[in-house]
C-alpha cells in the first residue's frame, strides 16, 4: 500500500511538472491572444526555438543555470516556480483525495487558478477563456464532486451573485470600480467547483489576504488606497485553502460557536 501511494504521489508530481510547463505557455500567450500551439516554445530574448532536451521541467533550468543556451540571457525564475507549484499541487491533491476523477477535476481547477493568478498579477485581467469554460465544466462534472449538482449550482449563484451585486453597486452608485467583473466570473467558477459554503470561505479568506497585503503595501511600500491590487490571486489562494481544508475550517468554526 505504501509503495502504491509513493508511486501515485511521484506520478502526480511529474505530471504536474509537465502540465506546469504548458501553463507557462498559457500565462505568456493568452493575454496576447496568441496560439497555444504554434509557434513552438522559444526564448523570449533571442527568439530561438527551445530544444526538447532544454525544455524538461525544472531539470533543464538547473542544468542551464537559469540561462538560454543560445543567447545566455537569464530565464525568469517564474517558469520553474510555476512548474514546481503545479507539481506540488497535484501531489497534495492525490495525497488528500486519492486517485480518481474527483482529483482530476480538482487538478484542472488548481491549474486554472494558477494561470489566472499570474495573468492577473501581470495584466490585472481574469481571462474569460478560462472562467467561462470553467463555470460550465464545474457544473457539468459536479455529479462526481462532493458538492453534487445542486451544491455546484448554488455555489455558482451565491458566489457570482454576491460579487455581481457588489460590482454593480460600486460602478453605478459609487461611480468607481471597487470590484472587477473578471473577479465576478472567477468567484462564480470557484463556486461551481466547490459549492456555496466553500465559496463563502474563499471570499472571506481572499478579502482577509487582500486586506493584509494592501495594508503592507500602504505602510511599507508607499502605496495609497487608490493603487489597484489584483484580487484574483487572493481569491485563488482562498479557493485552494478552501479546497484542501474547507470542511475542517467550517467544523472548527461551528465548534467555536458552540462555546
**Spatial distance between the Cα atoms of 126 and 201, rounded to a whole number of angstroms:** 20
Indicate the pLDDT class of residue 21, thresholds 50, 70 and 90: very high
Indicate the pLDDT class of residue 140, thresholds 50, 70 and 90: very high
Does the pLDDT of residue 68 top 60, yes or no?
Answer: yes
Does the pLDDT of residue 191 top 70, yes or no?
Answer: yes
**Based on the domain organization, do 129 and 93 belong to the same domain?**
no
**Based on the domain organization, do 136 and 80 belong to the same domain?**
no
Indicate the pLDDT class of residue 180, thresholds 50, 70 and 90: confident
With H, G, I as helix, E, B as strand and everything else as coil, classify residue 42.
strand
**Spatial distance between the Cα atoms of 251 and 234, rounded to a whole number of angstroms:** 23
**Based on the domain organization, do 56 and 90 belong to the same domain?**
yes
Q: Would you say residue 239 lies in a domain?
A: yes
Better-scored residue on pLDDT, 243 or 257: 243
Percent of the chain past pLDDT 90, that is, above it, reads 59
Does the pLDDT of residue 98 top 70, yes or no?
Answer: yes
DSSP 169: I
**Based on the domain organization, do 143 and 219 belong to the same domain?**
yes
**Based on the domain organization, do 148 and 243 belong to the same domain?**
yes
pLDDT of residue 174: 63
Better-scored residue on pLDDT, 213 or 84: 84
User: Which of these ranges, 104-118, 125-139, 159-173, has the smallest mean pLDDT?
Assistant: 159-173
pLDDT of residue 103: 97
Tens-place pLDDT, residues 198-245: 999 999 999 999 888 878 777 766 666 666 788 899 999 999 999 999
Percent of the chain past pLDDT 70, that is, above it, reads 92
Q: Would you say residue 57 lies in a domain?
A: yes
Instruction: Quote the strand ranges of 105-213, DSSP E.
Output: none
pLDDT of residue 46: 78
Q: Would you say residue 64 lies in a domain?
A: yes
Q: Would you say residue 117 lies in a domain?
A: no
Average pLDDT over residues 142-154: 95
User: Cα-flanking dihedrals φ and ψ of residue 42, to 5°?
Assistant: -145, 160
The total number of structural domains in the chain stands at 2
Question: Which of residues 31, 66, 99 is at a domain's end?
Answer: 99
Better-scored residue on pLDDT, 43 or 16: 16
Cβ proximity of 128 and 185 under 8 Å: yes
Q: Would you say residue 218 lies in a domain?
A: yes
**Spatial distance between the Cα atoms of 233 and 1, rounded to a whole number of angstroms:** 37
pLDDT of residue 63: 87
Q: 16-52 burial, b if ≥16 CB within 10 A, otherwise e?
A: bbbbbbbbbbbbbebeeeeeeeeeebebeeeeeebee
**Spatial distance between the Cα atoms of 8 and 100, rounded to a whole number of angstroms:** 11
pLDDT of residue 113: 98
Average pLDDT over residues 41-56: 78
Indicate the pLDDT class of residue 154, thresholds 50, 70 and 90: very high
Q: Would you say residue 105 lies in a domain?
A: no
Does the pLDDT of residue 155 top 90, yes or no?
Answer: yes
Question: Which of residues 99, 132, 157 is at a domain's end?
Answer: 99
C-alpha cell at 81: 516556480
Q: Would you say residue 114 lies in a domain?
A: no
**Based on the domain organization, do 71 and 133 belong to the same domain?**
no
Question: Which of residues 99, 114, 142 is at a domain's end?
Answer: 99
pLDDT of residue 252: 86
The boundaries of the domain holding residue 258 are: 124-259
Cβ proximity of 105 and 193 under 8 Å: yes
**Based on the domain organization, do 162 and 245 belong to the same domain?**
yes
Indicate the pLDDT class of residue 9, thresholds 50, 70 and 90: very high
**Based on the domain organization, do 29 and 93 belong to the same domain?**
yes
Does the pLDDT of residue 139 top 70, yes or no?
Answer: yes
Amino acid at each position: 500500500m505504501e509503495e502504491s501511494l509513493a508511486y501515485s504521489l511521484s506520478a502526480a508530481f511529474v505530471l504536474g511538472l509537465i502540465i506546469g510547463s504548458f501553463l507557462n505557455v498559457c500565462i505568456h500567450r493568452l493575454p496576447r491572444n496568441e496560439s497555444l500551439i504554434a509557434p513552438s516554445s522559444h526564448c523570449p530574448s533571442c527568439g530561438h526555438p527551445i530544444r526538447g532536451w532544454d525544455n524538461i521541467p525544472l531539470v533543464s533550468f538547473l542544468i542551464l543555470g537559469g540561462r538560454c543556451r543560445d543567447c545566455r540571457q537569464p530565464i525568469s525564475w517564474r517558469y520553474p516556480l510555476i512548474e514546481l507549484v503545479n507539481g506540488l499541487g497535484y501531489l497534495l491533491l492525490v495525497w488528500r483525495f486519492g486517485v480518481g476523477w474527483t482529483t482530476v477535476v480538482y487538478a484542472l481547477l488548481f491549474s486554472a487558478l494558477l494561470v489566472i493568478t499570474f495573468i492577473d498579477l501581470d495584466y490585472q485581467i481574469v481571462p474569460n477563456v478560462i472562467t467561462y469554460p470553467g463555470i460550465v465544466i464545474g457544473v457539468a462534472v459536479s455529479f462526481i464532486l462532493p458538492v453534487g449538482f445542486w451544491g455546484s449550482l448554488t455555489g455558482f449563484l451565491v458566489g457570482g451573485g454576491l460579487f455581481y451585486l457588489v460590482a454593480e453597486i460600486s460602478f453605478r452608485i459609487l461611480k468607481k470600480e471597487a470590484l472587477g467583473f473578471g473577479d465576478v466570473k472567477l468567484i462564480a467558477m470557484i463556486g461551481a467547483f466547490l459549492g456555496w459554503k466553500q465559496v463563502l470561505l474563499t471570499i472571506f479568506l481572499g478579502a482577509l489576504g487582500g486586506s493584509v497585503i494592501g495594508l503592507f503595501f500602504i505602510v511599507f511600500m508607499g502605496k495609497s488606497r487608490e493603487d489597484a491590487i489584483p484580487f484574483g490571486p487572493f481569491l485563488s489562494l482562498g479557493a485552494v485553502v478552501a479546497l484542501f481544508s474547507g470542511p475542517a475550517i467550517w467544523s472548527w468554526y461551528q465548534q467555536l460557536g458552540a462555546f
